[in-house]
């Protein structure tokens, strides 16, 4: 009989509450925001992997950081200094790839238009961005800097450009692209207003050839005398303008004038990033920043929550499960569980991880560079090891509060009969009830009460409370079949 395969992912939600000698009011402000997201992959059946957390080193890092290359306040060098002072060892920069909005008038939308552009990686030059990152990696060894971008692949217009109500939709529906290392990879991103590309030329050529044929006809008409010749000149100018306006070398298959295009523009970026060895993460799927609209001059910016994109898209590596705004996709049975269940049932090719997204621009509103941390488990302190841990899910996410954070010193799932174990991002086959065990502590060595909840297959199965440092051990003896996950 063939062994059946089972996938486990585990997430611990830990709310820290101090003992009486700590300022309880201050912690009450933070306690609901201390969140751990932890994964382990387990295959049900015969014995499998033997990995353990003991061979890995934990490196505290921060993902989704902006510098002066785009909307950040600090240059890369100062960010490195601040990270070092905070005890961070990994800095994943995600400056905006491009910050551009255009509105063009029909039928010459690409010729008669207004364009607004702000600082970005593509405006400054990806070669300069990558060179500056490399320069700071060479100059110091305290903080590993990894390049990435925050990408806004698409938006669409509604309303009247000559009246009130002109609205740009989904401008804040964004992805984090991490791990691309060549300037050409960034120039080639399939964005609405990116560089000329032959990628989609085949689809645009038929329309272009129609205008080309009209232009050729106009040359014949010009050779005629009288009104026909004059008409030929007008037709030549018009067809030439249409050829330029509808050239086939566009960077995206889409334009902002035909409504919402669903997941397709974002899927193009996800697939492109993966083809270049990069990873894509949904940035802040339930941010309230522009949910109800933000007026900027004559234009309203509106981006509704988009947790459904976690389900509608594929091949991405993860999403911001912890950040400084609303998040419901991590609740039991909702979007995260849906995509993990799809993976378990064989209907999704890739596992989906949850990161902490700092969206850091400056020290403001009580948010420091180290408030939202992603802690990586690596064998070596090198960029490739960080990227591998990110790809495999060998990390956890946590919010720092009150000058400390929780540390997941150990988390593993074990086959009690064979002793084989799996930690975050690894796989294991078991033939008996799996054992979930781990250890939580506080980085300041303090004693704090914590509440832990574990979900399997989208349903809570175990909750308990304790005090740091806390060891926990749970035998999941409830019968279940098929492939499943813990989180």
- How much is the average pLDDT of 68-72? 97
Last residue of a domain, one of 219, 245, 271: 245
143 band by pLDDT with thresholds 50, 70 and 90: very high
H helix intervals, 284-376: 308-312, 335-344
Residue 409 covered by a domain: no
Question: What does the alpha-carbon distance between residue 80 and residue 423 come to, in Å, rounded to a whole number?
Answer: 30
Whether 121 shows a pLDDT value over 60: the answer reads: yes
What is residue 54's predicted lDDT score, i.e. its pLDDT?
61
pLDDT digits (tens, 9 = 90+) for 32-69: 333 333 333 332 322 333 334 568 999 999 999 999 99
Q: The CATH number of the domain where 333 resides is what?
A: 3.20.20.140
Residues 154 and 222 in one domain: no
420 band by pLDDT with thresholds 50, 70 and 90: confident
Residue 160 covered by a domain: yes
**Range(s) of the domain holding residue 473:** 1-17+448-487
Last residue of a domain, one of 358, 374, 397: 397
What is residue 177's predicted lDDT score, i.e. its pLDDT?
99
- How much is the average pLDDT of 372-396? 95
- How much is the average pLDDT of 296-307? 88
Residues 320 and 260 in one domain: yes
Phi, psi of 327 (to 5 degrees): -150, 120
Residues 7 and 77 in one domain: no
What is residue 43's predicted lDDT score, i.e. its pLDDT?
29
Are the C-beta atoms of residues 450 and 468 closer than 8 Å to each other? yes
| Total number of domains in the chain | 3
By C-alpha distance, which of 462, 408, 458 is closest to 433?
Answer: 462
Last residue of a domain, one of 397, 428, 458: 397
- How much is the average pLDDT of 301-317? 96
Percent share of the chain, pLDDT over 90 = 53
What is residue 142's predicted lDDT score, i.e. its pLDDT?
96
- The three-state DSSP-derived secondary structure of 206-243 is HHHHHHHHHHHHHHHHHCCCHHHHHHHHHHHHHHHHHH
- How much is the average pLDDT of 366-372? 90
Q: Cα–Cα distances in Å, from 253 out to 171, 191, 278, 317?
A: 17, 9, 21, 23
Residues 64 and 118 in one domain: yes
Residues 65 and 121 in one domain: yes
Residues 212 and 255 in one domain: no
Are the C-beta atoms of residues 41 and 427 closer than 8 Å to each other? yes
Residue 43 covered by a domain: no
- How much is the average pLDDT of 184-212? 88
What is residue 45's predicted lDDT score, i.e. its pLDDT?
28
Residues 279 and 358 in one domain: yes
Residue 425 covered by a domain: no
Between 118 and 452, residue with greater pLDDT: 118
Residue 433 covered by a domain: no
Q: Is the dihedral of CA 339, 340, 341, 346 positive or negative?
A: positive
Residue 48 covered by a domain: no
What is residue 419's predicted lDDT score, i.e. its pLDDT?
83
- How much is the average pLDDT of 241-249? 83
Residues 133 and 281 in one domain: yes
User: Which distant-in-sequence residues (6+ apart) come within 8 Å of 127 by Cβ?
Assistant: 183
Residue 443 covered by a domain: no
Residues 196 and 209 in one domain: no
Average model confidence (pLDDT) across the chain = 84
What is residue 165's predicted lDDT score, i.e. its pLDDT?
83
Whether 25 shows a pLDDT value over 50: the answer reads: no
């Amino acid at each position: 009989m063939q062994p059946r395969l089972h996938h486990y992912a585990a997430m611990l939600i830990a709310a820290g509450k101090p003992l009486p000698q700590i300022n309880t009011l201050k912690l009450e402000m933070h306690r609901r925001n201390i969140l751990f997201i932890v994964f382990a992959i387990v295959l049900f059946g015969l014995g499998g992997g033997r990995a353990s957390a003991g061979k890995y080193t934990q490196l505290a890092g921060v993902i989704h950081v902006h510098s002066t290359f785009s909307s950040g306040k600090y240059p890369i060098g100062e960010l490195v200094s601040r990270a070092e002072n905070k005890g961070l060892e990994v800095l994943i920069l995600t400056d905006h790839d491009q910050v551009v909005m255009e509105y063009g008038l029909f039928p010459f939308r690409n010729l008669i238009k207004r364009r607004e552009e702000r600082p970005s990686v593509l405006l400054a030059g990806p070669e300069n961005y990558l060179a500056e990152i490399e320069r700071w990696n060479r100059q110091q060894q305290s903080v590993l800097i990894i390049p990435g971008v925050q990408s806004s692949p698409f938006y669409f217009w509604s309303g009247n450009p000559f009246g009130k109500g002109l609205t740009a939709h989904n401008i804040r529906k964004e992805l984090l692209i991490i791990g691309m290392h060549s300037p050409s990879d960034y120039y080639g991103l399939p964005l609405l207003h990116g560089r000329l590309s032959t990628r989609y030329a085949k689809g645009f050529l038929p329309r272009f050839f129609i205008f080309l044929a009209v232009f050729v006809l106009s040359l014949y008409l010009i050779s005629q005398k009288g009104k026909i010749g004059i008409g030929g000149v007008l037709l030549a100018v018009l067809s030439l303008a249409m050829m330029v306006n509808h050239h086939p070398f566009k960077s995206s298959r889409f334009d902002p004038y035909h409504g919402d295009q669903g997941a397709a523009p974002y899927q193009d970026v996800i697939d492109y990033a993966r083809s270049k060895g990069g990873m894509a993460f949904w940035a802040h799927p339930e941010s309230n920043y522009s949910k109800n609209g933000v007026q900027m001059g004559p234009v309203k910016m509106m981006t509704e929550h988009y947790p459904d994109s976690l389900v509608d898209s594929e091949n991405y590596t993860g999403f911001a499960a912890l950040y400084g705004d609303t998040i419901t996709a991590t609740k039991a049975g909702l979007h995260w569980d849906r995509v993990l269940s799809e993976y378990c049932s064989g209907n999704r090719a890739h596992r989906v991880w949850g990161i902490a997204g700092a969206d850091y621009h400056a020290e403001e509103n009580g948010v420091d560079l180290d408030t939202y941390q992603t802690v990586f488990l690596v064998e070596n302190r090198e960029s490739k090891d960080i990227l591998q841990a990110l790809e495999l899910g060998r990390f956890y996410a946590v919010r720092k509060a009150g000058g400390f954070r929780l540390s997941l010193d150990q988390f593993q799932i074990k086959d009690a009969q064979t002793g084989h174990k799996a930690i975050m991002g690894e796989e294991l086959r078991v033939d008996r009830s799996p054992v979930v065990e781990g250890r939580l502590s506080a980085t300041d060595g303090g004693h704090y009460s914590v509440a832990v909840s574990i979900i399997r297959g989208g349903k809570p199965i175990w909750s308990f409370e304790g005090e740091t440092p806390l060891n926990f051990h749970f035998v999941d003896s409830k019968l279940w079949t098929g492939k499943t996950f813990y989180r």
